[in-house]
């Protein structure tokens, strides 16, 4: 018989919250989604049905699984909730108010993880009676598909809360990245923003079609980055002496490139150019088909990279 | 019987030149590598032996294949060379001199493609008697593995030369991206430089370990980027109204993120932090093992994305 998993409470029933709910429920956690809006129930079920085949492809479905459920009031939360995943809109006061109210309904030692990408965990936790158990646990979108979760402590977070969040996410098949200090956007969104800024610059300057700029990533950079990260690539380029030789040979050159990167604005003209470029890109205009392709292909790539056996083994 | 393929001449027998030679030879082109250095012969053979299994995995090996050969003098070039791939060091005067000398030994209508990433095709072609046939044909590294080739015209390049280069690369299984105007670094290297600048910033500021920053790409961004490029991701995030809605909701937020990105220098302290970070990263320190993993996994990912049958079909 499978070991009983601790109850999880998701706070906020938007796309991210429902995606989190699917990931936790599939791993065997009894999972509730708190949101006062009654239409949340339908969204929880819709995302669950979309996510389950993806989670199955990833080998992230446990042995004893029930769908997530919706609750409209905090006093309906399970008494033994061990982990709270907050996924409210990105408004500091809203998060502070809802989490402070929530605290009266969950055990004092439950970890509270915020999905925030841009707010400070120190600011959020200040509203709590037990601020030491608040961490950032930021997913990539969609949370049921993408393996990375970034965790970060606020000024008052204690080390056990970070360790418990790490262990909790790892146990549902996530790859946990630990920030050593607060930084708006954490790692993933900042790196993504940096690349996208240059993509927008190249499109705005008419250097290539949006379609070709997209392909520079999808056909050019992405497959290699699945194996060798941005620094590893230059470490390999340096041959036996690695990065040290790369810096000696090409350090000044790299700094020249950096200085030449664009700093576009998202003004009306640039927005129009991008929208028009997407409309003209075969395979981009149909967003639903593209999302379907993503949900089909990305699990295959992740399995290929990690070995399906390992992933199944971690949950069954 | 397979149709006879046109002879190809590679100019410059370094790593990139030998990588190109393997890609062309595997597709069935009689391929010579010109380089005055006698040790080139051994490198041509070494890269060929390393590349052939990778090309086989990609389905990019034709029916009638001979290894590339080395020539130390230009007058040994095949009389019917139809395509020249220049892969000399990135020094303008060197490229101009060697290509001008070469022109006397190849047919006047052979396309000459330069592998340059940072030099201007207009500057290179000015040295030629037939400047209209010079294009940039920039590969990703290694050229036998990575599908993308960026092509770009100089001021004097004619349209047929661009079309012939496009058709030539496409026929050996490459994905051709067309630049509409000259831009140092083209698309791929500029996008890569933009992301790496932020990765260096995050490492230099101590926001996370180099290992975790690498994983933000290898486990976080790369698999999704294999299917949905940097603009497509935000197009999907906008739901049914796509990018237009994304800009309305989050345009100002994105501009704030952009403004907060780092502008590091590769000074001694930053170099040391990166070198130390790589040394402490499991899986990064052993460069040879990592390159082997790249050559094994990246073809599998590319096949998964493109459908192996299609790729085989294009060459056999």
Average pLDDT (B144-167) is 97
Q: What is the pLDDT of residue A307?
A: 64
Residue range A185-199, pLDDT digits in tens = 999 999 999 999 999
Q: Which of B208, B239, B263 is opposite residue A187, by nearest beta carbon?
A: B208
B275 interaction partners in chain A (CB closer than 8 Å): 242-244
pLDDT of B314 higher than 70:
no
Written as six digits, the tokens of A122 are 């120190």
What chain A residue is nearest to B235 in terms of C-alpha separation?
A287
How many CA within 13 A on the CB side of residue A72? 7
Assess contact for B134 and B108: CB atoms under 8 A: no
- Interface probe for B, chosen from A230, A271, A282 (most Cβ of B below 10 Å), is A230
Three-state SS at B260: helix
Q: What is the pLDDT of residue A310?
A: 39
Q: Walk me through the domains of chain B, giving residue ranges and CATH numbers.
A: 8-178 (3.40.50.720), 189-285 (1.10.1040.10)
Nearest-CA neighbor of A186 among B193, B202, B229, B225?
B202
pLDDT of B311 higher than 90:
no
The rounded distance, in Å, linking the Cα atoms of A193 and B66 is 46
Residue B255, CA distances (Å) to A206, A243, A277, B202, B251 in order: 20, 32, 20, 19, 6
Q: What is the pLDDT of residue B309?
A: 36
Residue range B37-93, pLDDT digits in tens = 999 999 999 999 999 999 999 999 998 899 999 999 999 999 999 999 999 999 999
- Cβ distance A301 to B298 less than 8 Å, yes or no, reads no
pLDDT-based confidence at residue A124 (cuts at 50, 70, 90): very high
Written as six digits, the tokens of B19 are 């990588």
Beta partners for B181? none
A248 interaction partners in chain B (CB closer than 8 Å): none
CB atoms within 10 A of CB B307: 11
The H or E element containing residue B102 is helix B92-103
Q: Which of B213, B220, B275 is opposite residue A243, by nearest beta carbon?
A: B275
Residue range B3-29, pLDDT digits in tens = 789 999 999 999 999 999 999 999 999
Q: What is the pLDDT of residue B289?
A: 87
Three-state SS at A82: coil
Q: Which of A191, A209, A240 is opposite residue B216, by nearest beta carbon?
A: A191
- Cβ distance B278 to A235 less than 8 Å, yes or no, reads yes
Residue range B82-113, pLDDT digits in tens = 999 999 999 999 999 999 999 999 999 999 99
The values of phi and psi at residue A113, to 5°, are -110, 130
- Cβ distance A215 to B229 less than 8 Å, yes or no, reads yes
- Terminal CA-to-CA distance of chain A, rounded, Å? 11
pLDDT of A17 higher than 60:
yes
- Cβ distance A224 to B146 less than 8 Å, yes or no, reads yes
The H or E element containing residue A15 is helix A15-26
pLDDT of B315 higher than 70:
no
Name the one residue in this structure whose structure tokens are 């604005």.
A265
Residue range A56-67, pLDDT digits in tens = 999 999 988 999
C-alpha A45: how far from chain center:
21
Residue A157, CA distances (Å) to A14, A126, A240, B56, B221 in order: 26, 10, 42, 53, 28
Beta partners for A11? A34, A86
Three-state SS at B84: strand
A292 interaction partners in chain B (CB closer than 8 Å): none
Q: Which of A216, A228, A242 is opposite residue B187, by nearest beta carbon?
A: A216
Name the one residue in this structure whose structure tokens are 């006093």.
A75
Q: What is the pLDDT of residue B307?
A: 64
pLDDT of A218 higher than 60:
yes
Query: Which residues 244-263 in chain A show a CB within 8 A of chain B?
Result: 244, 247, 251, 253-255, 257-258, 260-261, 263
Please, which residues have CB within 8 angstroms of residue A45's CB and are 6 or more apart in sequence? Answer: A67
Assess contact for B197 and A267: CB atoms under 8 A: no
The rounded distance, in Å, linking the Cα atoms of B277 and A272 is 42
Query: Which residues 152-171 in chain B show a CB within 8 A of chain A?
Result: none
pLDDT-based confidence at residue A240 (cuts at 50, 70, 90): confident
Nearest-CA neighbor of B81 among B19, B16, B5?
B5
What chain A residue is nearest to B184 in terms of C-alpha separation?
A257
Three-state SS at B264: coil
Q: Which long-range contacts (CB under 8 A, 24 or more apart) does B92-100 make?
A: B92/B119, B92/B123, B92/B124, B95/B119, B95/B124, B96/B123, B96/B124, B96/B126, B96/B127, B97/B127, B98/B11, B98/B12, B99/B11, B99/B124, B99/B127, B99/B128, B99/B134, B100/B127, B100/B128, B100/B129
Alpha-carbon gap: A5 to the closest alpha carbon of chain B (Å): 26
The rounded distance, in Å, linking the Cα atoms of B61 and B315 is 7
pLDDT of A315 higher than 70:
no
Task: State percent of chain A over pLDDT 90.
Answer: 85
Q: What is the pLDDT of residue A5?
A: 93
CB atoms within 10 A of CB B2: 11
State yes or no: cis peptide before B242, omega within 30 of 0: no
- Terminal CA-to-CA distance of chain B, rounded, Å? 11
Task: State percent of chain A over pLDDT 70.
Answer: 96
Q: What is the pLDDT of residue A286?
A: 81
pLDDT of A246 higher than 60:
yes
- Interface probe for A, chosen from B139, B231, B253, B256 (most Cβ of A below 10 Å), is B231
Written as six digits, the tokens of B47 are 């890269």
What chain A residue is nearest to B196 in terms of C-alpha separation?
A230
Among the ranges given (A231-240, B135-144, B228-237), the one the predictor scored with the smallest mean pLDDT: A231-240
State yes or no: cis peptide before B26, omega within 30 of 0: no
Query: Which residues 71-90 in chain B show a CB within 8 A of chain A?
Result: none
pLDDT of A237 higher than 80:
yes
Beta partners for B114? B86, B136
Pairing of strands A134-139, A148-153: antiparallel
Query: Which residues 272-311 in chain A show a CB within 8 A of chain B?
Result: 274-275, 277-278, 284, 287, 290-291, 293-294, 297-298, 300-302, 304-305
Please, which residues have CB within 8 angstroms of residue A165's CB and are 6 or more apart in sequence? Answer: A83, A111, A113, A135, A137, A151, A176
The rounded distance, in Å, linking the Cα atoms of B291 and B283 is 11
Q: Which of A179, A237, A253 is opposite residue B208, by nearest beta carbon?
A: A179
- Cβ neighbourhood burial of A158 (10 Å; 0-12, 13-18, 19+): middle
ipTM above 0.95, yes or no: no
In whole numbers, what is the pLDDT of chain B averaged over residues? 93
Q: Which of B187, B198, B235 is opposite residue A202, by nearest beta carbon?
A: B187
How many Cβ pairs closer than 8 A exist between chain A and B? Answer: 346
The H or E element containing residue B135 is strand B134-139
Assess contact for A112 and A128: CB atoms under 8 A: yes
Average pLDDT (B112-117) is 96
Nearest-CA neighbor of A78 among A9, A168, A164?
A9
As separate numbers, helices (DSSP H) first and strands (DSSP E) second, chain B gives: 13, 8
Alpha-carbon gap: B224 to the closest alpha carbon of chain A (Å): 6
Assess contact for B120 and B91: CB atoms under 8 A: no
Q: Which of A146, A202, A275 is opposite residue B190, by nearest beta carbon?
A: A202
Assess contact for B263 and B201: CB atoms under 8 A: yes
Q: Which of A217, A226, A275 is opposite residue B301, by nearest beta carbon?
A: A226
Alpha-carbon gap: B77 to the closest alpha carbon of chain A (Å): 30
Please, which residues have CB within 8 angstroms of residue A85's CB and are 6 or more apart in sequence? Answer: A8, A9, A10, A11, A17, A20, A24, A113, A115, A137
Alpha-carbon gap: A160 to the closest alpha carbon of chain B (Å): 19
pLDDT of A123 higher than 60:
yes
Name the one residue in this structure whose structure tokens are 């146990």.
A171
Q: What is the pLDDT of residue B253?
A: 87
Percentages (nearest 5) of helix, strand, coil residues in chain A: 55, 10, 35
- Cβ distance B218 to A229 less than 8 Å, yes or no, reads yes
Assess contact for B107 and B80: CB atoms under 8 A: yes
A210 interaction partners in chain B (CB closer than 8 Å): 231
Q: What is the pLDDT of residue A67?
A: 98
B183 interaction partners in chain A (CB closer than 8 Å): 202, 205, 207
């Amino acid at each position: 018989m499978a070991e009983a998993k601790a109850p999880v409470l998701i706070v906020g029933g938007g796309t991210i919250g429902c995606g989190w709910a699917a990931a936790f429920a599939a791993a065997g956690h009894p999972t509730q989604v708190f949101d006062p809006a009654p239409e949340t129930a339908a969204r929880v079920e819709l995302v669950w049905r979309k996510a389950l085949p993806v989670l199955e492809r990833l080998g992230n479905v446990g042995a004893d699984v029930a769908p997530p459920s919706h609750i409209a009031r905090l006093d309906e939360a399970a008494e033994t909730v061990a982990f709270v995943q907050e996924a409210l809109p990105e408004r500091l006061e809203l998060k502070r108010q809802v989490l402070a109210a929530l605290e009266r309904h969950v055990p004092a030692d439950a970890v509270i993880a915020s999905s925030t990408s841009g707010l400070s965990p120190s600011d959020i936790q200040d509203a709590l009676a037990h601020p030491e158990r608040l961490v950032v646990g930021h997913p990539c979108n969609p949370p049921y598909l993408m393996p990375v979760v970034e965790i970060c402590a606020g000024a008052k977070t204690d080390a056990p809360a970070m360790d418990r969040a790490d262990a909790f996410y790892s146990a549902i098949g996530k790859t946990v990245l630990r920030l050593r200090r607060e930084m708006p956007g954490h790692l993933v969104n900042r790196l993504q923003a940096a690349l996208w800024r240059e993509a927008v610059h190249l499109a705005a300057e008419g250097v290539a079609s949006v379609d070709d700029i997209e392909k520079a990533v999808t056909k050019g950079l992405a497959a290699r980055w699945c194996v060798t990260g941005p620094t590893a690539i230059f470490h390999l380029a340096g041959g036996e002496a690695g990065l040290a030789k790369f810096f000696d040979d090409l350090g000044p050159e790299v700094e020249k490139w950096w200085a030449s990167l664009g700093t576009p604005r998202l003004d009306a003209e640039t927005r129009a150019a991008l929208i028009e470029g997407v409309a003209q890109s075969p395979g981009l205009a149909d967003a639903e088909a593209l999302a379907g392709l993503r949900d089909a292909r990305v699990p295959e790539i992740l399995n290929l990279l990690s070995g399906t056996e390992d992933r199944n083994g971690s949950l069954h």
